[in-house]
Amino acid sequence: MENGNPFRLHCFPESGNSYKVALMLTQCGASWEPVFVDYFAGTSRTPEWRRDVNAQGELPVLDHAGLRLTQSAVILSYLAERFGKFGSADPAESREMMRWLFFDNHKFTSYLATYRFLRSFTPDPDPAVLSFLRARIDACFAVVEKHLAAHAFMVGERPTIVDFSMVGYLYYPQSETAYDLPTSHPAIAQWLKRVAALPGWRAPYEMLPGKRFASATA
């Protein structure tokens, strides 16, 4: 809670984008209330939900102090401003953070989230589609692996909202992602350990409550 206003996060446990926001709220020391949305039952795709919660039909959604915010990068930026934590130190760093956030949302998270969803939560995914996505993920991971070989965190030597955004889907089980990161991408794996060492860190399925959907690969 901040200034008497509670944070309410509309989310579901399989959502790495929701996890990004939950991780940021926790790292900021905020008191927040999860609002479980049954995504796999189609709740967020109903006309009523799109009318009353988010016209884009996407999660997470954050309610705070009369505001309703959508898109994880926007929410992370808002929280950084509210708490004065994990944001940019100057305009140059702000531009660098935006560069990585756009990369994350357009490629890094986008390809991995789609691949994991098709592979783990849909019946009989097309192998050709999975192969295409896997190649895209590998290309993105190569960029981040090279960057993290020379940096402790994504922007500078301290954690920022960029780190919280880009780890969003990387803590889910290997059975879902099909990536053994310590073997394939050791710099990324060490970065994940550094983020996990932050106070109050928890894995997605521990941090995000709600009914879990049965994985096809479990």
Neighbour order of strands in the sheet with 7-11: 32-36, 7-11, 61-64, 67-70
Tens of pLDDT, residues 127-161:
999 999 999 999 999 999 999 999 999 998 999 99
Band (pLDDT 50/70/90 cuts) for residue 206 is very high
pLDDT (0 to 100) of residue 90: 95
Q: In the predicted model, is pLDDT for residue 178 greater than 70?
A: yes
Mean pLDDT of the chain: 94
Q: In the predicted model, is pLDDT for residue 184 greater than 50?
A: yes
Other Cβ atoms within 10 Å of 208 Cβ, number = 24
β-pair type (67-70, 61-64): antiparallel
Tens of pLDDT, residues 56-76:
999 999 999 999 999 999 999
Q: In the predicted model, is pLDDT for residue 195 greater than 90?
A: yes
pLDDT (0 to 100) of residue 4: 60
Is the pTM of the predicted complex or chain greater than 0.85?
Answer: yes
Q: For residue 64, give the amino acid letter.
A: H
pLDDT (0 to 100) of residue 128: 98
What the chain holds in terms of domains, given with CATH numbers, is 7-86+202-207 (3.40.30.10), 91-196 (1.20.1050.10)
pLDDT (0 to 100) of residue 109: 97
pLDDT (0 to 100) of residue 181: 98
How wide is the angle at C-alpha 150 spanned by C-alphas 147 and 154, nearest 5°?
50
Band (pLDDT 50/70/90 cuts) for residue 1 is very low
Tens of pLDDT, residues 93-136:
999 999 999 999 999 999 999 999 999 999 999 999 999 999 99
Residues, the chain, total?
Answer: 218
Q: Radius of gyration of the chain from Cα atoms? A: 17
Which of 4-8, 43-47, 48-52, 176-180 comes out lowest in average pLDDT?
4-8
